[in-house]
């Protein structure tokens, strides 16, 4: 993000933890945060990608006070995640931004063909690990009376995605956790939001497209392919929204599921009080009146 040809250092002196940062959206967020003054702690299960990413990110630092730490971490392993969080809290008590970006699509196709092992791993990575990470840092965030938590949702959170059932289940639960947590933290100046990134040509979506349409569902396959063809590789909307929600510009906006593509979030500063007082951008039950029906 630039102003008058110069970088706008809106995250200067901030420290951010970014999961799933060795590639895709997590890597792009890491780049954006560095260019806006933040120091970053990145983690990924993929050690080689992580090392390559750190080497390239090091070239983007814009001041000598910034640092980059890279940690190999299997988010499906609770014990490993616990040790990692404790280590970061001890080393960086001033960390004030958490980006839970890591995710897997898990098993595809008919749910009757899923194994419980596959389902459990998807929930561990996409849902349990973000919750676990948040819980570890809540005490330090509360003590500072400030913090930013951003969880990554997906298309399966707001509408049915039957052929990606495990992924969809994990994401809708993560959105509800986001809102619940935001309510509990409203008196501590800690904002918790979820981002729906839209269809981006990540490795995960490439994997889906390399799967048979019959397995992931013909309709979903065609829509994903069409959307990516029209708007593939545009990470800027997602990284700019993440940057906004991690900055003080968004203070007070919390508990929302925000679409990087469809929501006019750049104008949120004009509507903060409305957003605080309403359930706009929240998941809610649809009743007959919402559809102009009287089922009585």
202-206, 277-281, 289-293: range with lowest mean pLDDT: 202-206
In contact, 81 and 129? CB cutoff 8 Å? yes
Give the model confidence (pLDDT) of 50-66 as tens digits. Answer: 999 999 999 999 999 99
DSSP-H helix ranges across the chain: 24-35, 47-57, 78-91, 116-123, 129-144, 165-184, 203-209, 213-216, 218-230, 236-246, 272-277
pLDDT at 70 > cutoff 60:
yes
% of the chain surpassing 70 pLDDT: 85
- Cβ neighbours of residue 50 closer than 8 Å, sequence gap 6 or more: 21, 22, 42, 43, 44, 70, 71, 72
Q: Can you tell me the distance from the alpha carbon of 187 to that of 141, in angstroms, rounded to the nearest whole number?
A: 12
The whole-model pTM stands at 0.89
Q: Can you tell me the distance from the alpha carbon of 263 to that of 256, in angstroms, rounded to the nearest whole number?
A: 11
Q: What domains, with CATH codes, occur in the chain? A: 10-284 (3.40.50.720)
Question: Rg (Cα) of the chain, in Å, rounded?
Answer: 19
Q: Can you tell me the distance from the alpha carbon of 172 to that of 161, in angstroms, rounded to the nearest whole number?
A: 11
% of the chain surpassing 90 pLDDT: 68
Give the model confidence (pLDDT) of 216-240 as tens digits. Answer: 666 666 666 666 665 554 788 899 9
What pLDDT does residue 97 have?
A: 98
C-alpha dist (Å) from residue 136 to 95, 118, 150: 12, 26, 15
What pLDDT does residue 105 have?
A: 84
In contact, 16 and 38? CB cutoff 8 Å? yes
Q: Can you tell me the distance from the alpha carbon of 55 to that of 57, in angstroms, rounded to the nearest whole number?
A: 6
CB count within 10 Å of CB 139 equals 10
Q: Can you tell me the distance from the alpha carbon of 5 to that of 161, in angstroms, rounded to the nearest whole number?
A: 43
Q: Can you tell me the distance from the alpha carbon of 216 to that of 221, in angstroms, rounded to the nearest whole number?
A: 6
What pLDDT does residue 4 have?
A: 36
Average pLDDT over residues 166-188: 96
- Split at pLDDT 50, 70, 90, the class of 27 is very high
What is the layout of strands, in order, in the sheet containing 68-72? 68-72, 39-44, 15-19, 97-100, 147-152, 190-196, 257-259
In contact, 242 and 234? CB cutoff 8 Å? no
Pick 1 or 169 by higher pLDDT.
Answer: 169
34-38, 77-81, 101-105, 160-164: range with lowest mean pLDDT: 160-164
Q: Of 150, 206, 138, give the one whose Cα is nearest residue 178.
A: 150
Average pLDDT over residues 76-83: 96
In contact, 103 and 204? CB cutoff 8 Å? yes
- Split at pLDDT 50, 70, 90, the class of 211 is confident
- Split at pLDDT 50, 70, 90, the class of 203 is low
Give the model confidence (pLDDT) of 109-164 as tens digits. Answer: 888 888 999 999 999 999 999 999 999 999 999 999 999 999 999 767 888 888 88
Which string of DSSP letters, residue by residue, matches 198-230?
-S---HHHHHHHTS-HHHH-HHHHHHHHHHHHH
**Helices 165-184 and 116-123, packing angle to 10 deg:** 30
What pLDDT does residue 5 have?
A: 39
């Amino acid at each position: 993000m630039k102003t008058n040809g110069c970088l706008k250092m809106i995250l200067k002196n901030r420290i951010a933890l970014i999961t799933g940062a060795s590639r895709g959206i997590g890597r792009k967020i890491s780049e954006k945060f560095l260019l806006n003054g933040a120091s970053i702690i990145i983690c990924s299960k993929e050690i080689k990608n992580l090392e390559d990413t750190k080497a390239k990110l090091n070239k983007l630092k814009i001041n000598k006070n910034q640092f980059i730490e890279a940690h190999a971490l299997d988010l499906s392993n609770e014990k490993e995640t616990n040790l990692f969080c404790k280590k970061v809290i001890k080393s960086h008590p001033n960390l004030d931004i958490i980006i839970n970006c890591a995710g897997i699509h898990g098993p595809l196709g008919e749910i009757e063909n899923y194994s419980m092992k596959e389902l459990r791993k998807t929930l561990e990575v996409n849902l349990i690990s973000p919750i676990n990470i948040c819980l570890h840092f809540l005490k330090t965030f509360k003590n500072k009376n400030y913090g930013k938590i951003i969880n990554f949702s997906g298309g399966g959170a707001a509408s049915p995605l039957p052929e990606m059932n495990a992924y969809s289940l994990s994401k809708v639960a993560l959105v509800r956790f986001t809102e619940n947590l935001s309510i509990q933290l409203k008196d501590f100046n800690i904002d918790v939001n979820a981002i729906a990134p839209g269809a981006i040509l990540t490795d995960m979506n490439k994997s889906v497209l390399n799967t048979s349409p019959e397995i992931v569902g013909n309709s979903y396959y065609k829509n994903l392919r069409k959307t990516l063809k029209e708007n593939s590789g545009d990470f800027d909307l997602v990284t700019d929204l993440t940057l906004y929600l991690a900055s003080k510009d968004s203070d007070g906006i919390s508990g929302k599921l925000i679409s990087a593509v469809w929501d006019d979030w750049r104008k949120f500063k004009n509507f903060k009080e409305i957003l605080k007082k309403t359930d706009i951008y929240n998941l809610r039950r649809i009743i007959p009146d919402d559809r102009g029906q009287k089922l009585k």
